[in-house]
Amino acid sequence: MDTSYDFEFLNERIAERYNPYQEGEYIVIQTWSSNVRLVPLHRGFDYREAKQFCEFENLGSDYNHYSLRIVYQGKLHHIGYDGAPTIKSREQDWKVAADYLQAHYDRSSDGEIEVCNCSYPFFWKFKTYINQHGEGADKLIPVTCLMDDHSREIDNCPNCNARLIEEEEEDTWEEAPDTCKGCKYYSENYFMPCAVHPYGADDDICPDYSM
């Protein structure tokens, strides 16, 4: 099905932005962007022109930040003082696999693509697991969604190593007596939950409670 997004490609000027990048091309990109697709604001082989464009864009925007990159050996690179490529950029032109893109834009589907701060897109999908009560439950897990690397479960961003999932909620306090909840002396040891009061506190308020 065509979306309005697809129709944009009929516009030559817009379609041009998505042509494959060429070696030595200077590209102005929006950094810290949450776009699934890297959208270049300027492309060209003239370093000074690209640099000027980038500076101008940055002056004109308080909220967005734009950076200049060069295509070198097929990857985006930072640029040295003379316009030559230096180190590889964290931002790359990631190619998301079609079915993940489709799921992302399909509002009735469960999963969606999120973009890491470094520009790397990954997919949140539902996975069924058995919880501590022995019941089947769903949780969202991050998986890779690139054309050449997809459906691989990940905990960290493969591009910048940022942690993508929050640590599991601690269930430690669920079983603890109300008096003991949050106390540093409490342990989950069934036979002796607390070193100070092995058989539990005598009153509702424990005199030795300590965070």
CB of 89 to Zn ion, least distance (A): 12
Cα–Cα dist 10/150, whole Å: 29
Region binding Zn ion by CB under 5 A among candidate stretches 57-65, 75-83, 116-124, 139-147: 116-124
Is 33 a binding residue for Zn ion by CB under 5 A? The answer is: no
CB of 22 within 8 A of CB of 82?
no
118 binds Zn ion per the rule CB under 5 A:
yes
Instruction: Identify which of 93, 83, 103 has the alpha carbon closest to the alpha carbon of residue 33.
Output: 93
- Taking CB under 5 A as the criterion, the residue among 14, 84, 162, 195 binding Zn ion is 162
Q: Does 157 bind Zn ion (CB under 5 A)?
A: yes
> Which contiguous run of DSSP H or E holds residue 77?
strand 75-79
Among 51, 36, 49, 43, residue whose Cα is nearest residue 13: 43
Task: Decide if residue 160 touches Zn ion (CB under 5 A).
Answer: yes
Residue selected from 58, 159, 179, 187 as contacting Zn ion according to rule CB under 5 A: 159
The residues that touch Zn ion, with contacts defined as CB under 5 A, are 116, 118, 120, 157, 159-160, 162
